[in-house]
A and B are shown apart, each in its own frame.
Chain A
Amino acid sequence: MSRLVGWLFTLPALVVYAVFVLRPLASTVQYSLYRWDGVGPSTWVGWDNYRAVLTDPDLHGTLGHALVLVLFFTGVPVPLGLLAAAVVRRARASRPVRAVLLLPQATPLVAAGFAWSLLLSSTGAVNRLLAAVGLGGVTRAWLGDSTTALAAVGVIGAWVLLGLCTTVLLSGVDRIDPALYEAARLDGAGPWREFRAVTLPGVRRQVGVCVAVTAVAALASFDIVYVTTQGGPARATSVPGLEVFQLAFAQREVGLASALAVVLVVLVLAVITPVLRWAR
């Protein structure tokens, strides 16, 4: 009887989850097996769309770009966030510092992308700064050069996500029992030792959350790329999210778009599952 009541309580949530998450997911999987323009009749093509995703260099290239973005979106803000959290914890007046660190997270991504594209333009602040310190030779339109565009997008993403990581990690640090720090200090631990022995194990779960969230942000990135480069130049920054959008809405290849979306979901799960298991 009590079990039944429990089920009744979860029913509304289950219905919402099924209708708005599982059903679209199932539809996507179904569409991925057809060739369909989104309106007219569809043709069953089996695994052909998946074969195209895995063999067409323009399509699987986008998956490679997404993995490169993980290096920037996860590899930069998580360590820097840890460092910032450890330093801010020891600082006396930490409130203003926290507010500043949270700022990137509070900026809408579109605004951040736009501001950064101005900073990184050929006449932007970044190039002016480089020229001022005698590095005029390396200046360029960072987002308009296919050798630097992906890294430039990565830097923007890292900046945006630094705020999130710092906030999450600070909340973890705050929950560590101060007695542990005191004990470490009595045992003669310096800042580095204290960080390794107390802070790091204490925020393991938060690190897991940060890695998972930032990796998903990189793999499923869309908005930053859409605002700054739209996948260009010469496909240097094309990512799966943007390609799914282009395929479905510009090229009306709903089947192929769905197949790429399914592959992206599988890739995200493959990356995230071990991280979450480690952090548990």
Chain B
Amino acid sequence: MRGRGRFGPLAIAAALAVAPVGCAAPGGELTHPASATAVPRPGCGVEPVVLRARFETGFPLAAALTEEFTRQHPNVTWDVREEQYAVLTRNAPRLLADNPPDLVRLPQVSDLAGDGLLRDLDGYAASFGWDDWPAAQLRPMRVGPGGRPRGVGPLYAMGFSTSVTGVFYNKDLAARIGLREPATLAEFDDALARAKDAGITPLAGFNSGATAGLVFPLQSLMAAYGSPSAIDDWTFQQPGATIDTATNAEAVRHLQRWLRAGYFDADLNATDYARMVDRFTSGRALFMLDGDWESAALDRRMPGRVGFFLMPPVRAGEPRAAMSGPPTFGIPAGAAHADCAAFFLDWAVTDRVARETTVRVAGSLPLGPVDAPLPAVEPGSVTAATLAAASRVVADGTGMDFMANATGAVLAESWTPRLQELAEGGSGPEELLRGVQADYADQIGR
């Protein structure tokens, strides 16, 4: 009796707990929506429509475009919720499965497309003529069957603009060392050395927490030594692609030389992105490897005092590569107003005012056909420099996706700890690349 008295309540509570769980395996069945065929004249109609959207906090372009869209199409109003990018990324699968809005800012879309949570946009691409644009612009948003490889297959996302990465420099500090924009990597190295000798921190960098910023300079160096398309093959999970190559090892060694020469501040592993930008804008470093998403802000904070060039090649005259993945937006498979959302995405890159808005607010090159009008910008501004650089990368076809996007985990779980070790002088180039390749193989094999 006593035993029953003691364990009775627990047993009942346990039974209550387990009963609803049952023995069914977790998760649902995959639904694969049939591949879209051309949608005849998708639009928003004339009836009132409320488009539900989830955007990223601190990315004012999306909000600015929605306002302009409503001005031009008053029957469409917006229910926008903004969230931190990391929060959006973490909740994306559940959001798309349980409560799909009409338009969502998304991280790389392989897994979501593989899970059947996103709408195949090929039908819209055919109707709107997106297929006629330079193929490289939309390549990162194409996803093969089951989520891999990327870069081929149906289109699962769209963007407003293409970003470009390269080297920003402080014109005041540049004048102190007599900097001319370098034509080769060797000339860039020389500029770094002269800055160091002049007592200026050559490179502002960040490498703390779960996001190793060294992945930016490293990928730029890899593309200079090798080819951007080889890096894309790896990022897009093409069968047989490897990061562990001789040219990539050369790039890691180059980065290691920069680290050993003290070109970054000593507390690189304790510096986050915001602090890096702060150091650059407060004139405490000559160069910063970053993307054109900072252009508009740099023009505001340091008007006329910032320059930009693409990472120089190893040999003079070779084309210059850059990371240029567009911030991506997807339409959930369960979206209520998919046609209207797609119409908005097309409008955002073809309407004259929308394109001007993209340049003014984000400082980046709008996606779209090659002959689309390029909005005017202030000459001498860094926005003008990054726009010219972005156009050049599109024309040369030397854009590549961020290799941190290769898998959902490869940045936080592999590049970050290994590049932090490299910054501390711990691991060697071959060891680093072998390790990342092993982690990558493990992650895509799961």
Q: Does B46 contact A (CB under 8 A)?
A: no
B421 touches A234 (CB 8 A): yes
Contact with B along A238-269 (1 / 0, CB 8 A): 00000000100111111000000000000000
A23 touches B209 (CB 8 A): no
A232 touches B417 (CB 8 A): yes
Contact with A along B345-357 (1 / 0, CB 8 A): 0000000000000
Residue of A22, A39, A58, A121 touching B27 (CB-CB under 8 A): A39
Give B63-119 interface residues, CB cut-off 8 Å to A. Answer: 89-91, 93-94, 97, 111, 114-115, 117
Report the interface size for chain A: residues with CB under 8 A from the other chain: 49
Residue of B20, B114, B408 touching A250 (CB-CB under 8 A): B408
Q: How far in angstroms is the closest Cβ of chain B from A19?
A: 7
Contact with A along B270-302 (1 / 0, CB 8 A): 110000000000000000000000000000000
Residue of B13, B115, B420 touching A39 (CB-CB under 8 A): B115
Q: Does A206 contact B (CB under 8 A)?
A: no
Residue of B89, B265, B417 touching A235 (CB-CB under 8 A): B417
Residue of A15, A27, A142, A232 touching B209 (CB-CB under 8 A): A232
Q: Does A105 contact B (CB under 8 A)?
A: no
Give A1-39 interface residues, CB cut-off 8 Å to B. Answer: 7, 10, 14-15, 17-19, 21-23, 25-27, 30-31, 34-39
A122-B267, A141-B267 known; A14 and B12 CB under 8 Å?
Answer: yes
Residue of B13, B18, B265, B267 touching A14 (CB-CB under 8 A): B13
A34 CA / B423 CA spacing, docked (Å): 37
Q: How far in angstroms is the closest Cβ of chain B from A82?
A: 34
Q: How far in angstroms is the closest Cβ of chain B from A67?
A: 20
Sorting the interface of chain B by its residue count into under 10, 10 to 19, 20 to 34 or 35 or more gives: 35 or more
A251 touches B269 (CB 8 A): no
Q: How far in angstroms is the closest Cβ of chain B from A155?
A: 15
B271 touches A42 (CB 8 A): no
Q: How far in angstroms is the closest Cβ of chain A from B105?
A: 17
Q: Does B431 contact A (CB under 8 A)?
A: no
Residue of B21, B209, B267, B423 touching A121 (CB-CB under 8 A): B267
Residue of B25, B209, B408, B421 touching A251 (CB-CB under 8 A): B408
A250 touches B89 (CB 8 A): yes
Residue of B20, B90, B417 touching A23 (CB-CB under 8 A): B20
B412 touches A250 (CB 8 A): yes
B21 touches A30 (CB 8 A): yes
A234 CA / B90 CA spacing, docked (Å): 23
A12 CA / B342 CA spacing, docked (Å): 50
Chain A to chain B contacts (Cβ below 8 Å), 9 pairs: A41-B28, A121-B267, A140-B266, A142-B270, A144-B271, A146-B424, A234-B424, A250-B412, A251-B408
The residues of B with any CB-CB pair to A shorter than 8 Å are 9, 12-14, 16-18, 20-21, 25-30, 89-91, 93-94, 97, 111, 114-115, 117, 207-210, 265-271, 408-409, 412-413, 416-418, 420-421, 423-424, 426, 443, 446
